[in-house]
């Protein structure tokens, strides 16, 4: 019997090919390599993570494209640089005197010496490949800023991003696929492993792991007892907090919230903790540490995110909704103080029938954090 294997080009549906391209581009960007980004408007550029900038990298971008690289940051970062720009659009920064690695670092990383954006040739952009470059940096859990250089016109007088990438052994990814990556990734989650793991506070516990088809970070469902499908399940959506969950950080309330949820669900008899790989409200641990540095300098937890160039909250709740649906749960009683979390979960198709307050006392270190969440993020304490 001859086994017919579909060729690699046909084995993966278009979604996966796009996801694979973005996932490979993420690791190239994190590795300090350039990536070609093409946009629907015909634009195409070479992008490089601003936080990895070196003189060699800047020269390489210029030599390959014949254009001087410029810096692209998010609108949030542009505002933090004192520019009067919309927060939801990328900003191109092209100082008349040109960019240096130090200037790129100072403009994109607020934990470095402050620079003003005035006089830096800043322009707000509609989005396109430049906006996608900052989103790619965000998904890569880097500072949301990129050095970019437009590609030269090809022989036919048009920009050929894919051809340019092939000639220079670079990855080429479409802006639209970058923008769609997180939604598609959530849609592709599948169970990959499961084990019973008796916990100190909940002996009858199983852990089910879900992985997206693009190989991105896994998310966990910690199932306590045997919650019956078809009725509201007591649920905690817990975003990963390495410092709080593992080290007992006093800067936040995550550690007590995680252990408290396990205890409360065990006392109720059954329920689920969804442990989501969304460290730092989705900005990643390195950037959360940078945010802590800014908070030590007087910013609150919301402003620290936006001064870094992120939104106050970068989390997406589609993975949580997908996991609940796959496990047969359509309705939840949600342990949370965060109305946005409830709204986003509901918007992702889960019926949040009740909010169960999940409040833990301040500890002498996290008062400002809890106060800001109440005053700026609508948390209900
Ligand atoms: N960017 C940033 N993230 C933080 C900070 N302190 C804690 N976090 C992150 O905030 C998230 C808290 O997640 P949760 O406790 O699930 O959610 P919540 O928004 O606090 O809402 P609740 O459901 O009421 O707890 C985790 O990802 C933490 O890593 C901070 O100062 N800055
Ligand atoms: Zn925390």
- Which ipTM score applies to this complex? 0.98
Quote the pTM value: 0.94
pLDDT at 91 (0 to 100) = 98
pLDDT at 154 (0 to 100) = 78
Question: pLDDT per residue over 42-70, tens digit each?
Answer: 889 999 999 999 999 999 999 999 999 99
Q: Characterize the bridge pairing of strands 233-239 and 271-276.
A: parallel
Instruction: Identify the structural domains of the chain with CATH numbers, from first to last.
Output: 16-183 (3.90.870.10), 189-278+315-377 (3.40.50.10990)
| Number of the ligand 1 atom closest to the C-alpha atom of 335 | 23
User: Which tokens in the block code for residue 112?
Assistant: 């470095």
Question: pLDDT per residue over 15-51, tens digit each?
Answer: 688 999 999 999 999 999 999 999 998 889 999 999 9
Question: pLDDT per residue over 154-182, tens digit each?
Answer: 777 788 999 999 999 999 999 999 999 99
User: Which tokens in the block code for residue 330?
Assistant: 């359509």
Q: Does 239 count as an annotated binding residue?
A: yes
Using most ligand atoms within 8 A of CB, pick from 280, 356, 380 the residue to mutate for ligand 1: 280
State the Cα–Cα distance between residues 222 and 203, nearest whole angstrom.
12
> Where does the pLDDT of residue 2 fall: very low under 50, low under 70, confident under 90, or very high at 90 and above?
very low
Q: Is 259 a catalytic residue?
A: no
State the Cα–Cα distance between residues 10 and 8, nearest whole angstrom.
5
State the Cα–Cα distance between residues 242 and 254, nearest whole angstrom.
9
- Mean pLDDT computed over every residue of the chain: 94
Instruction: State whether the beta carbon of 241 lies less than 6 angstroms from ligand 1.
Output: yes
Q: Does 172 count as an annotated binding residue?
A: no
Q: Tell me if 35 sits within 8 A of 171, measured CB to CB.
A: yes
Q: Does 236 count as an annotated binding residue?
A: yes
C-alpha distances out from residue 52 to 44, 77, 122, 153, 279, Å: 21, 17, 21, 27, 21
For residue 321, what is the DSSP state? H
The continuous run of DSSP H or E covering 208 comes out as: strand 205-211
Instruction: State whether the beta carbon of 141 lies less than 6 angstroms from ligand 1.
Output: no
Q: Is 315 a catalytic residue?
A: yes
Question: pLDDT per residue over 112-151, tens digit each?
Answer: 988 888 899 999 999 899 999 999 999 999 999 999 999 9
């Amino acid at each position: 019997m001859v086994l017919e294997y579909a060729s690699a080009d046909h084995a993966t549906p278009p979604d996966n090919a796009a996801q694979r391209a973005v996932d490979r581009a993420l690791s190239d960007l994190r590795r300090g390599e350039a990536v070609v980004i093409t946009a629907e408007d015909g634009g195409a550029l070479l992008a490089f993570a601003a936080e990895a900038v070196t003189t060699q990298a800047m020269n390489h971008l210029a030599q390959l494209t014949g254009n001087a690289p410029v810096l692209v940051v998010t609108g949030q970062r542009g505002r933090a640089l004192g520019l009067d720009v919309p927060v939801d659009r990328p900003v191109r920064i092209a100082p008349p005197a040109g960019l240096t690695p130090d200037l790129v670092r100072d403009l994109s990383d607020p934990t470095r010496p402050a620079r003003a954006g005035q006089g830096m040739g800043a322009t707000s952009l509609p989005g396109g490949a430049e906006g996608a470059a900052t989103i790619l940096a965000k998904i890569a859990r880097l500072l949301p800023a990129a050095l970019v250089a437009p590609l030269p016109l090809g022989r036919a007088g048009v920009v050929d991003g894919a051809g340019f990438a092939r000639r220079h052994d670079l990855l080429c990814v479409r802006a639209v696929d970058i923008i769609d990556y997180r939604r598609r990734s959530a849609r592709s989650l599948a169970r990959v492993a499961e084990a019973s793991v008796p916990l100190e506070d909940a002996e009858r516990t199983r852990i089910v792991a879900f992985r997206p088809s693009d190989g991105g970070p896994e998310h966990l469902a910690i199932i306590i007892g045997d919650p019956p499908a078809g009725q509201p399940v007591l649920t905690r959506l817990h975003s990963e907090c390495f410092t709080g969950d593992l080290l007992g950080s006093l800067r936040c309330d995550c550690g007590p919230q995680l252990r408290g949820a396990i205890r409360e669900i065990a006392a109720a008899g059954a329920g689920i903790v969804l442990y989501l790989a969304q460290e730092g409200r989705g900005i990643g641990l390195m950037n959360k540490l940078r945010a802590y540095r800014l908070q030590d300098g007087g910013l609150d937890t919301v402003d620290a995110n936006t001064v870094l160039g992120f939104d106050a909250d970068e989390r997406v709740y589609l993975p949580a909704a997908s996991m609940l649906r796959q496990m047969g749960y359509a309705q939840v009683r949600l342990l949370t103080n965060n109305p946005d979390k409830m709204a986003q979960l509901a918007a992702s198709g889960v019926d949040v029938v009740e909010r169960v307050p999940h409040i833990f006392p301040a500890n002498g270190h996290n008062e400002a954090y809890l106060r800001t969440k109440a005053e700026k993020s609508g948390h209900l304490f």
